[in-house]
Amino acid sequence: MKQTVAIIGASDKPDRYAYRVAEMLESHGHQVVLVNPFKEFINGGPCLKDVLQFDGTLDTVTVYVNATRFLEHLDSILEKKPRRIIFNPGAEAPEAYPLIEKEGVLVEEACTLVLLNTGQF
């Protein structure tokens, strides 16, 4: 199933996992929504300040920022009502999990790249 996936902490640096996952998601046919309040464009494509700027439904949010930065996005993410949020290694935010789950959103601590490579995405 093709999904619309927001990357919180999208990067324009090819050595970053957030950059690599954008490429891999697109190569698997998913629509990618880049979110980084410090960037206007990444690789020529628009980069949003927050997920509320995206006019559409989000299936998955994948997180590549620390817990403090993630919490700045939490309200807007919950307003978009994604099906799940994936917290990649180093981006875990366990203090937010009860609130997220209370809103009916699945919490996953996993590596999005591994999930894609193993057919578990």
Q: What's the average pLDDT block by block, 10 residues per block, for the chain (121 residues)? A: 96 96 96 97 94 97 97 97 98 98 98 97 96
Q: How many C-beta atoms surround the C-beta of residue 55 within 10 A?
A: 5
Sequence ranges of the domains in the chain: 4-117
CA distance 13 to 2: 25
Question: What confidence score (pLDDT) does residue 1 get?
Answer: 86
pTM of the entire predicted model: 0.96
Among residues 43, 35, 47, which one has the least CA distance to residue 7? Answer: 35
4-117 homologous superfamily: NAD(P)-binding Rossmann-like Domain (3.40.50.720)
Q: What is the pLDDT of residues 57-76, one digit of tens each?
A: 999 999 999 999 999 999 99
Question: What confidence score (pLDDT) does residue 78 get?
Answer: 98
Mean pLDDT of the chain: 97
